[in-house]
Amino acid sequence: MADHIIAPRDLDWHPKPLAPDYRSSLLRSPNHTRLHYDPTVTEMTGPTFGHGMLGPDDDDLIVNYAQAGEAAIGPRIIVHGKLLDEDGRPVSGKLIEVWQANAGGRYRHKKDGYAAPLDPNFGGCGRCISGEDGSYSFRTIQPGPYPWPNGGNDWRPAHIHFSVFGDGFAQRLITQMYFEGDPHIALCPIVQCIPSDTAIDRLVARLDMDNTVPMDIRAYRFDIVLRGRGATIFENQMEGT
């Protein structure tokens, strides 16, 4: 049988659970290391979501919470890219959910009390399903940086949160997308939990003038990579423990 139907996760590439400069991790990071077993049918399968559940504006944060005829305030952007696996193959038909602060850096959330005002026409969430070629696209406004309580003068770089499903639940991933050129990336304790600059760079979207619509909306390109999938699922896969 195949050694791994889903490629092993490189835990040294991801942030460590305990990151002392990110204060919230102190009481929420397990002390034991994660115990390993090979994925079984439980981890190699996962939920599927059909296009039928999507509303027409689910992928358009500029209008999906706005009053009719109105739009969210802020720099208009397209965020698009491909959902791929570690073998470079498209991961199609998978749910991608995003959430973000508004252009002033304020979230529509009762726990967010930042001085920047809410935008009555901006909710801050969107979702779509990746296409046959793994492609996805959202329209939104560029979020603002915001301060957060971490014991010092900490500001998050402008970012969009991403939640992504794969074929197998073991591929499930939540991450954040940053914007090329943001000086807060180098200063942010949450970003800097990631051990290497190479890895951090994978979360930085690039300005994409080829897909920028003249006089309308700029584009940013952001590809998302999920753990690799084996080419073949063998009959005896369930013995993989």
Partner 1 sequence: MMADFKESPSQTAGPYVHIGCVPTFAGLQGMYGGNDLGAKMITGDPNGSRITLTCHVIDGDGVPLKDAMVEIWQAGPDGTYGPTEGFSHWGRQPTDAHSGELVFETLKPGATAGQAPHLLAWITARGINLGLTTRIYFADEDNSSDPVLAVAGDRQATLIAQGGDGSYRHDIYLQGAQETVFFDV
Task: Cite the active site residues.
Answer: 107, 146, 156, 159, 161
- For residue 224, state whether it binds partner 1 (rule: CB under 8 A): yes
Task: Please report whether residue 157 would count as binding partner 1 according to CB under 8 A.
Answer: no
Selected from 20, 70, 75, 109, the binder of partner 1 by CB under 8 A is 109
* Nearest residue to 92 via CA among 83, 103, 102: 83
Q: Which of 127, 133, 69 is nearest to 98 (CA)?
A: 127
Residues of this chain, 120-149, that bind partner 1 according to CB under 8 A: 123-125, 127
Cβ proximity to partner 1: between 31 and 153 the closer is 31
Q: Which is nearer to partner 1, 148 or 212 (by Cβ)?
A: 148
Quick one: which of 66, 72, 170, 219 contacts partner 1 (CB under 8 A)? 170
Cβ neighbors of 102 (< 8 A, separation 6 or more) are 72, 73, 74, 108, 116, 118, 119, 122, 124, 141, 143, 144
Is 184 one of the binding residues for partner 1 (CB under 8 A)?
no
Give the single-character DSSP code of 6: B
Sketch the per residue contact string, 57 through 86, with partner 1: x for CB under 8 A, - otherwise: -x-----xx------------------xxx
> Are the C-beta atoms of 122 and 116 separated by less than 8 Å?
no
Q: How far is 36 from 91, CA to CA, in rounded Å?
A: 25
